[in-house]
Each structure stands twice: as structure tokens, then as C-alpha cells.
Structure 1
Amino acid sequence: MRALRWLPLALAAAGCTMAPHPRPAPTLQLPAAWRTAPGGEGIVARDWWRAFGDPALDALVRRALDNNGDLRIARSRLEEYRARVRVAQSANQPAMNLSFAPTRARVIGPLGQPIDTTSIVGSVQASYELDLFGRIAAATQAARFEELSQEAAFDAAALAIVANTASGYFNLLGLDAQLALARETLASRERSFTLARHQFEVGYSSRLEMSQAEAELHATAAVVPQLERAIAQQEQALSLLVGAHPGPVARGVPLLEVRLPAPSPGLPSELLRRRPDIAQAERLVAASDASLAAARDALLPSIRFTASLGAQGGSIARLLRDPVELWSIGGSVLAPIFDAGRLRAQADIAATVRDRALFAYENAVRAGFAETENALAGIDGLRRQSDEAEARSRAANEVLRVARNRYRNGYASYLEELDAQRTAFSAETNVLQLRASLLAAHVDLYRALGGGWTPAP
């Protein structure tokens, strides 16, 4: 109890000179509305990929969530942080140890003769630190917030894997459609070359027209292996995402039959509770605040109680029959007086970690707003661009029909039809590419909105 009389002095010496660590001033400004007027309806569901209406995509996403290697790593990391919480919580409980120490020694007696002694000691020791100033509680709270941040990090990783899988799948459908168009166009080029060669052979057209038809045939033929190679590479990328060996990927709905959902982005302020990466950054701020509190509390005295109960005997038999009882009870107050500024420096380090966590949170929020705005603008622009591309494709195919009729009826040269073929092929390819890009833009919007994520209670 005499040691407790020095407690107020230790408190004054250890804690009163620690300067506060105020938070940096916030710089976030939340927009009142989105720049691009959204026309969506309904909330974003947790299984948002089903809104595209493709069963093959559903199966692919499920495989990715079950088998993706990065998700397995994130899941293992989450288990690690859950174990860290248990480690931090253990500091709130008493610690008990059992010891058993047999000793055989030879010493010199008072008259100079050797004496052999045997001593067997068994004891149970217990210790407990009284968390009078909340240091252990703050450290436990920091570990808990770090675990929660890892839960959000796992959800963010899962959202990224699902979005990458959906984007890769739609890119694959786009390549499939372009390959089908290229093969269809190649067959048409072969028929055109056959006709041009026949007309050259009968003297109706020149070698120039036949050579240009042949050149166009080979140019179209070169597109086919290029698309086949791109399809194979995209299939390997999707296989890697779903944790499978390289191989073919099952397709479902054709590209032009995939539904275009219309998710509602809601208000910009709602985005702060929708995205797991923002939740992760927010929880890291809370964890760093608790770590700073624990670092500052380390400057205050710590109070520890200890007790031990044991027995000693010259042999195991005597230890069991007639032991000498040993016991001790004590307490200690440890207050830092001089440590060359180590504890204060650790508190300053914890404050800088807290500040960086705040800056990272603001960056995550800004990135979320920017990604959502980009996705909304991308959908709006690609939809209008796709409408114009479809109109151009219809007009180009009409030009091709007229040019083909004029050539077959002898009113125009083959060069006119050849030019119309190139324009029509380019226009149709552009329609397919824009359709795949529009689907990917919808995936980007789902990703930017958090993919229907809700924080765990």
C-alpha cells in the first residue's frame, strides 16, 4: 500500500507533459447530386450479376467466389486478424502458470565437507494487470477495428473478383460475336473473289478488280486467327479468375441478347455506406485512433498483482507426504520516469499513422465518387454512341446492297462494292464492340456502387 502513495506523483510525472495529437482538419466536400443525371431504378442487389440474365455468368461468378486464389488469401488474412483479437482480449484475463523444478546440487558445508542436496519445487503462479487507465481496452478495441477492416477488405476483394469476372465474360462474348461476323464476312469475301476471278477470266473485268478482291479476302482471313487468339487469351484469364486450369469457358446468352440493367446510384452521400473499401478505410481510422490512445496510455503507470502457491520437498515422496508450503502475494506499480523519449516517440508514431489513415479515408471516398461519375458518364455516352453506331450499320448495309446490285447489273465497278463491304464490316464490328463496352460499363457502375454490399452488424 505504501507504493500506492506514490501513484499520484507518478501520474503527474508521466502524463501531464504529453502534448495532444489533434486530428487534421477534414477536406472532404460531398456533392449534392451526380453530374450525369441517372435514369436507373431499384436498389443494387447483393447478387447484382444476375440482373444481366445469363446463367453461364452466374455459374462463372460462383466458381470465382469459391475458388479464386486471391480470395482464399484474403480469407486467410481475415482469420489471422480474428486470432489477433483473441490475443488482445487475453490481456484482460489473469495469466496462470504451472512450474515443476527438481534440483540436485552439491555444496560445501560449514566444516568444508561436501553436502549433496535434492530439492523439488512445484508451484502455481498467477498474475493480473489492472487496466486502470484503459490501455489494454484501447489495444483490444484497436485489434477489433482492424479485424472489421479486414472483413471489409475481404468483401472489397470479392467485389473486385466478381466485377473482373463479369467484365471478362462480356469481353469474351464480344470477341465471340466479332469472330462470327468475321467468319461470315470471310465467306462473303470468298464468294466475291470467286465472282471477280470468273469475270476477269471471261474478260468482263480487269485484273485490278480481281487482285483487290483477293487482297480484301486475305485481309478478312487474317482477322479470324487474330480474334481466335484473343478469345483463347480471354478464356485463360477467366480460368485464372475462377481458380481453374486453362481451358474453354462455357457461354450462355449471346452478346446482343444480354439484358442491360439499370441500377439506381442513389444520393452521393449514400455511397459512404455502400462501398466496402470506404468502410475498410473508415475502420482503419477507428483502429488507429484506438492504437493512439493505447500508445498514450503507455505513459501512465501500470498496476500488476501477482500470487504464487507451491510446495517443496527433498524427494517426490516427501513432496507428497510432508511438503513445505510456499506462497507469495504481491503487487507492483510501474511508472515510466526516463526512457529517452521512447514512449512519447511511439505515441507520435501512432498519431502519424492515425493521420495517414484519415488521408487514406478521404482518398477512398473521392475515388468512389470519381468511379461512380465515370461509370454513369460511360453508360450515358456509350448508349448514345451505340445508337449512332447501329444507325450507321443499317445505312452501311443498305449502301452495300445497292452497290452489289449496281455491280452485278453492270452499272458500277467492283471497287464500289468493295468499298461498301469494308464500310459495312467496320460498322458492324463497331456495333459489337460498343455493346461489349456498354455491358462492361454497367459492371463498372455496379462495382462503383459497392455491388449491393451492406456492413455486417
Structure 2
Amino acid sequence: MSLSARIYGIAVLSGVTLFSGCMPAYRAAPEQAQIAAPSGWIGSSSEGSVVDSAWWNAYGDPALSAAVEAALARNNDILGAATRIERARAELQLADSSFGPSLSFDTGAHAERALGPSGMAISRAVQPAVQLNWELDLWGRLSSQAKAAELSLSATQADYDAIALSVAAETARTYIGLLGLDAQLQQAKATSASRAEALRLAQEKFDAGYISQLELTQAQSELEAVEQHIPQLELAISRHHNALRLLSGELPAAYEQNTGSGLSGLSLPAPGSGLPSELLRRRPDIARAELGLASKDATLAASRAAFLPQLALSARAGALYVSALSYDPSKVWSLGGSILAPIFDRGRLQAQFDSAAAQRDEAAFAYRGVVLTAFSEVENALAGQRRFAEELSHVTARRDVLKRSLEHARNRYEAGYASYLEQLDAQRNLYEAENQVIAVRESQLQNMVDLYKALGGGWDYAKTVKPE
């Protein structure tokens, strides 16, 4: 090796060493953002198969399954999330395009009329050329940018799945709520018919002098109370129906009452919760936060590498056609390289690095928040699974007791041992108890939807998101 080549190599190495000393040290994520999965669930759980990806079919209602599948196909939020995947894919392609050389063609032409030794002369020139540019990724800046874009694409894909899971769960909850309102409306209409008949009999007995004015007006009041509840339920049904159509990306339409088995006909599935550590790979929102954190970390690495010199190579080859040479082309070419090393930029690179570090730390805390929320949601749903079963058992038993109580009150009244107000009071208590049974059953079914959603809805990290 010649002396000049050695001197050149030593100079380059010294320059790289000098600039690498100016590069800031890597910043790890804050320790406060770290979180570990608990060893077990507080609530009752099962370690069996967690959730099937089409979990809504477990309720055994074809109309529910059709509503969820329609929402997954046409919901506006899901369609919008799909476009974000396409944008992230294009951004990844843009980042990948930074690797390797770029080739371009350009040509220049000009004509000139000027005074020369022999008088006025016109000259024309054309110079077509092909140019090659290539930035070498010596320090991994470009590869870090590409990695950030790749992770961002995977995070966007996980975000799509998280939105789809939320839409499916909200559709199932809305549908179950609609069935609950239907059941309450049927109960209210049946009670209204029963109390209208009771009022007719009370009117006859009042006319005959067997009951007082107070007992008659009380019977009228009880009937009006139920009649008042009916339009409230019908309004709530209309709003739930429109909400269900909105989730499916459809315009409002007239509601047709469900002709299926209704709320009581829905099966109550019992998914296994699995181990807490498995939850970190079964929820798309956790994957989205984790991949977002990794993307920000790659961006931080790219901003750190920006402190080092950038080496670019360029080459140009073409031909020169000049009229003075009778357009006999002359070959022209150039070959060179450049090193761009930051010296003084008024703190721009440091500010970019600090901003990237802060964004990475923010993503780390966001990931921690998502994980905490996930474990809390599972525990709440597991607790509700047992509590709602207990509550339903009690309200059902109370309803059965009140049915017998109403029968006793009716018999006592007809036998002349009690007033008509005692029978009215028993009717009111039974009506409230029947509505409580419907409400608790609805809450129990919706809590199971919450459990399916909290467990990830059958989503699998390995099958959906590309591994790092």
C-alpha cells in the first residue's frame, strides 16, 4: 500500500472516531415502564382452550352471528383501518427504497447565436447522461429507518385487528341489549294487558260497592305506570336498532321484532382464560403498543446514527453533441464520492435525538398502560362471571317467590281476607322482579362478551403479526 493511501485511511479512521465520540449514548427505556405478568388470575379461571376466533357463534344465535359478520365486513372504522395498513405498507416501501443505488436519466440542450471570429455563428449542444447515486449505510441509519417502518406496518396491522375485535364486541353487546329491551317490552305489554283486565274487574266491583275509590284509583295508577314504560322501551329499542345498523355500516331502517328465541334462548359460553402470561400474545392492542414501542426505538437508533458521517457515491456517464463538431459525440463521464459530516448545526441533531427518545419513552409508558388495562379487564370479567351467576340465581328465586305471593294475595282478596291494595302491591313487586331477571341475564351475557374481548377474541400474535 502506498504512503498516500495509508495516510488517507488513517485520516478517514480518525475522522470516524472523532465523530463517533460526538454521538450520544443509547438511552434505555425508563425502568418505571417495565411490567411483568402476574402468576395467576384472582378470579375463577380455566386453563383450557382460550377463545375461538369466531367466538360469537358460541351464543348459538344465527342472527347475532350475522350481525357481527356484517359489521366486520362493512363497518366504517374497520374500512378506515384497512387504508392505514396500505399507507404503512407504502411508507415501508419508501424506506426500503433508500437502500441501494438510484439511477436517473437527464439531458440538457441549448442553442446560442453569438459573434465569433468569422462573424455571427449559431451553435447547438445536446448532452444526454445517465446518473447513479448511492448512499452507503455504514452506520445503520437507513436500516434503522426501514426497521421502524416495518414495525410500524406490523403495529398498524395489529391496530386493524384491535379495531375489528372492538367492533365485534360492541355489535354483540348492542344485539344482546336489543334482545333485553325486546324481552322487557313483551313483559310490559303482557303486564299491561293483565292490569287492564284487573282494572275492568275493579271497576265492576267498585260499581257494586265491593271496593273503595282508593282501591280503584290505585288500580288505574298501576296500569298507567306500565303504559308509560312501553313508549320508553320502544324508543330505546329504536335507538339500539339504529346503533346496530350503524355498526354494520348501514343507514337507519324500521325495526322488525326479533322472531328467534330471544334473550332466554342465548347460550352462555364459558371460555377458558388460560395463563396470564399468554395474554401478552393474545390481545392485538398489546401487540400494537409493543410494536409501536419497537418502532420508536428503531427511530431513536436512526437519529443516533445521524451524528455520524454519511458517505455517498455518484457516477455520471453520457455523450456531448455539439454542432461545431458536426454532432460527432464525445463521451463524458464523472465518478466521485462525498462525505457529509455534521460539525455545527445549532443543536438540530441533538434536538431530534432528544425528541425521538421522548417519543420512545412515551410509547413505553403507553405499552405499560395497555398491559395494565388488559389484566384489569380480564379480572373484572372473571369476577363478573361468578357474581352475575349468583345474582341471577337470587333474582330468579325472588321472582318465583313473588309469583306465589301474588297467587296468595289474589286468593286472600277473593276470600275477603285482604284488600285489593295488597294484590296490587304483589303485582307491582312481581313486575319489578321480572324486569330484574331480564336485566341481570342481559348483564351476564354482555359480561361474557367483555371476557371474550378481554382475552383477545381468539387473536394470535404469531399468526397475524410478522415476528421481528
CA spacing shift, 1:152–1:249, aligned 2, 3 Å? farther
Match of 1:337 among 335, 340, 343: 343
2:455 corresponds to: 449
Q: Note the alpha carbon deviations across 1:174-214, whole angstroms, 9 max, x for none.
A: 00000000000000010010011010111111111111111
Identical-pair percentage: 43
The alignment status of 1:178 with 2:184, answered yes or no, reads yes
**Inter-CA distance 164–40: structure 2 relative to 1 (3 Å threshold):** farther
- Mark the CA change 1:245 to 1:429 in structure 2 (over 3 Å): closer, same or farther: same
**CA apart distance, 1:116:** 3.4
Match of 1:100 among 98, 107, 126: 107
| Partner residue in 2 for 1:15 | 20
Q: Say whether the 8 Å CA contact 1:304–1:331 is kept in structure 2.
A: yes
User: 1:305 aligns to what?
Assistant: 313
- Superposed, 1:276-287 pairs within 5 Å as 276-287=284-295
Please list, as runs of the form range in 1=range in 2, the aligned pairs for 1:19-418 lying within 5 A after superposition. Answer: 19-20=24-25, 21-25=27-31, 26-38=33-45, 41-107=48-114, 109=116, 115-247=121-253, 248=255, 251=258, 252-314=260-322, 322-418=328-424
Amino acid at match of 1:292: L
Q: Which moved more, 1:95-104 or 1:429-438?
A: 95-104
Q: Distance in 1 between matches of 2:62 and 2:126?
A: 73
CA shift in 2, pair 1:239/1:96, >3 Å: same
Q: Which amino acid aligns with 1:267?
A: L
Q: How far is 1:309 from its partner?
A: 1.4
Aligned residues: 453
Cα offset for 1:10?
2.5
> What is the alpha-carbon distance in structure 2 between the residues aligned to residue 142 and residue 272 of structure 1?
21
Q: Which moved more, 1:326-335 or 1:226-235?
A: 326-335
Tell me the alpha carbon deviations over residues 331-351 of structure 1, each in whole angstroms, 9 at most, x when there is no partner.
112111221221122112111
Contact conserved, 1:13 with 1:337, CA < 8 A, in 2?
no
- Farther-moved stretch of structure 1 (376-385 vs 9-18): 9-18
The residue identity in structure 2 corresponding to 1:161 is: V
Secondary structure of the residue aligned to 2:51 is coil
Give the conservation status (yes or no) of the 8 Å contact 1:186–1:221: yes
Distance between the aligned counterparts of 2:225 and 2:386, measured in 1? 34
Conserved 8 A contact 1:3-1:333: no
**Mapped contact 2:23–2:305 kept (Cα < 8 A):** no
What's the CA shift for 1:289?
Answer: 1.3
- Distance in 2 (CA, whole Å) between partners of 1:302 and 1:22 is 25
**Residues 407 and 413, structure 1, Cα contact 8 Å, conserved in 2:** yes
Is the CA contact 1:51–1:259 (under 8 Å) kept in the aligned structure 2?
yes
- Superposed CA offset, 1:354-410 (max 9, x none): 111111111111010011111111221111111100000001111111111222232
Question: Which amino acid in the other structure matches residue 411 of structure 2?
Answer: N
1:288 and 1:353 in contact (8 A); partners too: yes
Superimposed CA distance per residue, residues 148-176 of structure 1 (whole angstroms, 9 cap, x where no aligned partner)? 00010000000000000000000000000
Give the corresponding residue for 2:439. Answer: 433
Q: Provide closer, same or farther for how the CA distance between residues 194 and 279 of structure 1 changes in structure 2, counting only shifts above 3 A.
A: same
155 and 104 in structure 1: CA distance in 2 versus 1, 3 angstrom threshold:
same
Counterpart residue identity of residue 296, structure 2:
S
Q: Which runs of 5+ in 2 are unaligned?
A: none
Distance 1:375 1:307, change over 3 A: same
Q: So what's the TM-score if we normalise by structure 1? A: 0.95
CA–CA distance in structure 2, aligned partners of residues 337 and 138 of structure 1: 23
CA distance in 2, matches of 1:33, 1:119: 81
Could you tell me how far apart the structure 2 residues matched to 1:40 and 1:436 are? 26
Alpha-carbon distance in 1 for matches of 2:73, 2:103? 42
For the 8 Å contact 1:10–1:335, the answer to whether it is kept is no
